[in-house]
Every structure is written in C-alpha cells, then in structure tokens.
Amino acid sequence: MQQTRARDRHQRILDAALRVFARRGYREASVEEIAQASRTSKGGIYFHFPNKEALFLALLDLTTRRLMEKVEQAMAAHDDPIARADAALLTVLRTFRKHRPLARLLLVEALGAGREFHRRMAEIRGEFAAVIKRHLDEAVQAGVIGPIDTEVASRAWFGALNEVITTWVLSGRPERLEDAYAALRPLLMRSVGLSGIPEARGKR
C-alpha cells in the first residue's frame, strides 16, 4: 500500500511539474509551486527528487520515453523502411500538437536549465537520430535509396523536424502542427534521393 501511494505521489509530482514548468519556465518555476500544484509538501517532493534540476530531468526522461514508445509503435505497423521513417515523422508532429506545453517546455522554456539538461538533450537528439539512421540504413541495404551518409542524413532530418516544431511553438504556425507534414515530407525524401513517393494510407 505504501509503495502504491509513493508511486502515485511520484507521478502526481511529475504531472504537476510539467504544468508549472510549462507555464512559468524552468528558471521562474519553484519547488513550492510544484508542491502546491501536486497537493503535497516540499519535503514530499524532496523525498523523490533531491532538487529542481533532478525533477526536471526526470520529467524530461519520462516524456522522452513515452514519445519514443509511440514512435516505435507507429513504425511497427509498416514493413517498408521509408514508410517506418515516415510514420515516425508524423507521430512526432501529432504528439507535440496534442501536447503543446510539453513542446514549449523542452524546446523553448528550458534553455536556462543548466549544463546537465543540455547534456541530456544532446543524448536524446542522438537517440532519435539513431532511430532515423537505423531505418535509412535498412532502406540503403534494401536498395530503396542509394548509398548515402545516413549519419548526416538522420541528423538533418531530426534538425529539420526540431526547427519546424520550435517555430510552431513560437509563432503558432501552422495552426495544426501536423499540417507541416505536407511540406516537410517531400523535402526530407528528396534529401535521400527520393521523390514522388505517395503518402501511406491514413497519413492525412
């Protein structure tokens, strides 16, 4: 029973931290505000997280893991390596569109979160780029695309996606983030030597 209550409080703190960090930004958010929002005490937060940075990093890891699970699930529905990369692209756009506070928190508000945050973000970028690279490698091996530097291509794909999402967070354009897919997809496909590939069913 105590373990269940501890897990519930741990999750409640993370949920409240996301709301507070997204509204106030990393620098301005306080542990006291998060405690109030999570209906617990500062001591209760410090029981689970030694400081604000640790709480923020735990939130970052949680949301990254959830997003990666969604991406892997979407890719598993396809056999073609390009279709899998395509599914990953649209899944990320749709997920951030549904969770705009999360996108703002990770891409804009957290810029002052410190060295450890930036180190972890670099790792996360590498993890997502590695997923893209794996499927581009498969496409090369299958002869779907010609020989290319998939390391560079995967970083370029991730960078383009990151820029589109950040611009959407700051400007609100396009209104629906996944509407950027129509323009982004052909650019990415042409970057690996493909053009004129029809969209998979259910993309729009």
How confident is the model at residue 202, as a pLDDT? 44
> Same structural domain for residues 33 and 121?
no
Residue 13 has pLDDT above 90, yes or no: yes
Task: Give CB contacts under 8 A, 24+ apart, made by 31-39.
Answer: 31/55, 38/9, 38/12, 38/13, 39/12
Give Cα separations from 6 to 9, 27, 40, 49, 79 (angstroms). 5, 27, 11, 12, 41
Cβ pair 150, 137 in contact under 8 A: yes
Q: Model confidence over 159-180: pLDDT tens digits? A: 999 899 999 988 988 888 888 8
> Same structural domain for residues 130 and 148?
yes
Mean pLDDT of 66-95: 87
Q: Model confidence over 141-164: pLDDT tens digits? A: 989 899 999 999 999 998 999 899
Q: Model confidence over 30-56: pLDDT tens digits? A: 999 999 999 999 999 999 999 998 998
| Between 16 and 199, residue with greater pLDDT | 16
Q: What is the Cα–Cα distance from 173 to 46, expressed in whole angstroms?
A: 39
Percent of the chain residues topping a pLDDT of 90: 25
How confident is the model at residue 3, as a pLDDT? 76
Residue 109 has pLDDT above 70, yes or no: no
pLDDT bracket for residue 112 (50, 70, 90):
low
Domain assignment present for 203: no
> Same structural domain for residues 8 and 63?
no
Q: Print the domain residue range for 149.
A: 57-191
Number of domains in the chain: 2
Domain assignment present for 87: yes
> Same structural domain for residues 15 and 78?
no
> Same structural domain for residues 109 and 156?
yes
Q: Quick check: bond before 186 cis, omega within 30?
A: no
pLDDT bracket for residue 200 (50, 70, 90):
very low
> Same structural domain for residues 65 and 40?
no
Cβ pair 176, 143 in contact under 8 A: no
Which of 18-27, 79-88, 110-119, 129-138 is the least confident region?
A: 110-119
Average pLDDT of the chain is 85
How confident is the model at residue 83, as a pLDDT? 83
> At 185, which CATH number?
1.10.357.10
> Same structural domain for residues 87 and 178?
yes
How confident is the model at residue 49, as a pLDDT? 94
> Same structural domain for residues 99 and 123?
yes
Cβ pair 60, 120 in contact under 8 A: yes
pTM: 0.77
